[in-house]
Structure 1
């Protein structure tokens, strides 16, 4: 079996906080989020044999406790199942970064006990398909075939699957000034999570988007949201959720302790 391979980080401490991990990047994604920093991975083919990736994992195994599948969108690829089986066989934990568009594959991995933690992007309020479509490039990029309603429905299905099994879950929203991440939008996302996710200890992270690397050129001159601005938005989310964090280049990950 072959997979559409983008690359590997043999040792990462940022893709699964608290663990040393090997991160495998897959090519391909059904979305075109306009702020995406990994846009070189969104398209193109680089098929490699599964054994090649297994060998890369074996080389890193003495130094890591986990493997993270990222992209692109890893759940697009059927090869993720046998690859996860291999990771489980060699005794490493498995994390998945996903946009939530493939609930069927998420369910398959959960049923087979081939994942330990999901990291799921919530790009806008799930009950606002129009805004979700804007963020994910619907109508702007021909590659986005799913409608905003289909995208948000798949996301909600994926969240229900993960939430129902009590698995460790991190939800994240990337913020770009004047594009996504106003106080009202963050409050709406956090309120939706509070109302729809049974796991009240779910982690919600506000990520500092870096506009200069965006897929859309018009965003690249946008001023980065400062750490203090993200902190205040984190306090907004803290009104609804127990575990809220921000991630910035300046200070790394910070836990929000007080609400607004």
Structure 2
């Protein structure tokens, strides 16, 4: 089996809070979020054998307690199933960073007990497909890219289904929103996202994270001049989210991860 591979971080303490992990990055993504910092992974083909990635995981095994699959979008590739199986055989916990567009593969991982934690992007209010499409790059790229196949209504439905699957599984769940000034992350938008999570997610142990987006590193050139939201602004938005949810955190380059 071939894998469209982007790279490996042999030892990461950032991709799963509280765990040391080997992080595998996959190429390919169905979205084109204008702020995406991993945009070199969105397209292109760099195929490797499945055994190559198994060896990458095996090499890191003495130093880590988990493997994290990221990207790009890892659930695009069927290879995530045998790789997760391999990680579990080695006694490693498995985490998946996902945009939520592939609920069927998320469900397969759950059913086969091959995942321990989902990290799911909630890019905008899920009850606002038009805004979600804008933040996910659908408006800009729907004509230019064959990758953006789902319309905004289909995207939001898929994300909601993936969250439901993760929620009912009883596994650890982290939902996160990346904040970009003048694109996504004002007080009303965060209130709507947090309220939706509060109403729809039964697991009250869910963690909601507000991430400080860095526009200068993003895909969209015209966005790169936007001023970064400061830590104090994220703290205030985190307090708003805290009005709906028990577990809220912010992540900034100034102070790293902080509990609200």
Q: TM-score, normalised by structure 1?
A: 0.98
- How far off is 1:123 after superposition? 0.1
Determine if the alignment matches structure 1 residue 170 to structure 2 residue 174: yes
Match for residue 202 of structure 2?
198
- How far off is 1:242 after superposition? 0.2
Determine if the alignment matches structure 1 residue 49 to structure 2 residue 49: yes
- How far off is 1:165 after superposition? 1.4
SS across alignment from 2:32: coil
Match for residue 14 of structure 1?
14
Tell me the alpha carbon deviations over residues 9-62 of structure 1, each in whole angstroms, 9 at most, x when there is no partner.
000000000000000000000000010000000000000000001111111110
SS across alignment from 2:210: strand
- How far off is 1:166 after superposition? 1.1
Match for residue 63 of structure 1?
63
Q: How do 1:186-225 residues align onto structure 2 when only pairs under 5 Å count? A: 186-225=190-229
SS across alignment from 2:138: coil
Match for residue 86 of structure 1?
86
SS across alignment from 2:37: coil
Q: How do 1:1-260 residues align onto structure 2 when only pairs under 5 Å count? A: 1-141=1-141, 142-143=144-145, 144-256=148-260
Alpha-carbon distance in 2 for matches of 1:25, 1:254: 25
Q: TM-score, normalised by structure 2?
A: 0.98
- How far off is 1:235 after superposition? 0.4
Structure 2: which 5+ residue stretches go unaligned? none
CA RMSD of aligned residues (A): 0.6
Alpha-carbon distance in 2 for matches of 1:214, 1:146: 22
- How far off is 1:139 after superposition? 2.4
Alpha-carbon distance in 1 for matches of 2:82, 2:205: 31
SS across alignment from 1:139: helix
SS across alignment from 1:246: strand
Alpha-carbon distance in 1 for matches of 2:196, 2:159: 13
SS across alignment from 1:140: helix
Alpha-carbon distance in 2 for matches of 1:165, 1:55: 30
Count matched residues: 256
Tell me the alpha carbon deviations over residues 140-162 of structure 1, each in whole angstroms, 9 at most, x when there is no partner.
11321210000000001111111
Alpha-carbon distance in 2 for matches of 1:91, 1:10: 17
Alpha-carbon distance in 2 for matches of 1:212, 1:137: 17
Tell me the alpha carbon deviations over residues 54-104 of structure 1, each in whole angstroms, 9 at most, x when there is no partner.
111111110000000000000000111011110011110000000000000
